[in-house]
Amino acid sequence: MRADATQVVERDVALPGGLTLRCREAGAGPRRVVLLHGFPEAAFVWDATMRALAGQASCLAPNLRGYAGSSAPLEEAAYRPQALIDELASLIEALGAPLDLLVAHDWGGALAWGLAARRPELLRRLLVVNAPHPAAFLRELRDNPAQQAASAYMNFLARDDAEALLKENDFGRLFDLLERSGAAGWLDAAMRARYRRVWQHGLAGPLAYYRASPLRPGEALRGMQLPDALVEVHVPTWVLWGERDQALLPGLLEGLGRWVPRLEVERVADASHWIVHEQPVRVVAAVRRALATPV
């Protein structure tokens, strides 16, 4: 056991097939928590959360497949939902299942919804932060013009030239993405440097998630169906949602109980998609509340 459980350390976790995930971890408590980041971030965004939980939980945050330091296969098929969910399942099995809590934001949340539906035995609780349930996302992308417009950026990120364009002007478009909700006081010079170091490892892997995803605006969604049996989540689930999210609109929360019967939703009116940075105390409180709830 480390003398200082609040210290965040880094290690590689080996998985089947010769794959590895670069992970950050902290804490020495009796509970086990895994935290998943989204685009265009990396595991470091969970450092403050893990330190705050250090006395309560052993926390691990991986850089997802394709992100800095983790395995980054070249083929697009490696970034399809099932392949990513299988890798997450392998990580949890390597750590020792079931987890006490899986916490996930953005793309990490997309994987977490899929894992909880398909492999519920791997986790006791789920906390999703601004990441749409796949069935709700399909409905809104197909039927809601406002969500179609808000998600149009996904088609840009799926373009062949997206990586080159995002690298222009010192990653100007990516920093704009982080600041889209207005002045981002948390995005200071030090935080910009951390993002820049992650992006300098390459963007091909992170962008492959968008190219491989079946859920993005377009005519292909018209005939798509997701049977309830494939997307129902029966583990106790909490959703923390910043309502100022300009990419993922609050309509994505409507009717969520159809697929997630054991659900609690906390809406945060004054937070955006980047609530993990904007309101870290609220995020930690949500994690603690989930961990304290009997299952």
54 in any annotated domain:
yes
What pLDDT shows up at residue 287? 98
What pLDDT shows up at residue 89? 98
Domain harbouring 69, CATH code: 3.40.50.1820
Query: How confident is the model over 218-234, as a mean pLDDT?
Result: 93
CA count, 13 A, side-chain hemisphere, 268: 21
274 in any annotated domain:
yes
pLDDT over threshold 50, residue 190: yes
- Where does the pLDDT of residue 141 fall: very low under 50, low under 70, confident under 90, or very high at 90 and above? very high
pLDDT in tens, 11-61: 999 999 999 999 999 999 899 999 999 999 999 999 999 999 999 999 999
- Where does the pLDDT of residue 1 fall: very low under 50, low under 70, confident under 90, or very high at 90 and above? very low
243 in any annotated domain:
yes
Chain-centre distance of CA 278, in angstroms? 16
pLDDT over threshold 70, residue 202: yes
130 in any annotated domain:
yes
pLDDT over threshold 60, residue 183: no
pLDDT in tens, 67-111: 999 999 999 999 999 999 999 999 999 999 999 999 999 999 999
How far apart are alpha carbons 67 and 10 in whole angstroms? Answer: 14
pLDDT in tens, 236-293: 999 999 999 999 999 999 999 999 999 999 999 999 999 999 999 999 999 999 999 9
153 in any annotated domain:
yes
Give the rounded percent of residues in the chain with a pLDDT score beyond 70. 98
What pLDDT shows up at residue 3? 58
Query: How confident is the model over 220-225, as a mean pLDDT?
Result: 90
For the chain, what is the mean pLDDT?
A: 95
What pLDDT shows up at residue 180? 79
2 in any annotated domain:
no
Sheet holding 237-242, edge to edge: 9-14, 20-26, 57-62, 31-36, 101-105, 126-129, 237-242, 263-268
What pLDDT shows up at residue 101? 98
Q: How many domains does the chain have?
A: 1
Selection from 255, 267, 37, 276 nearest residue 133 by Cα: 255
Query: How confident is the model over 136-151, as a mean pLDDT?
Result: 97
State the pTM of this model: 0.97
3 in any annotated domain:
no
Look at residue 283 and give its three-state secondary structure: helix
The token duo for 122 is 């791997």
Segments forming the whole domain that contains residue 189? 9-292
4 in any annotated domain:
no
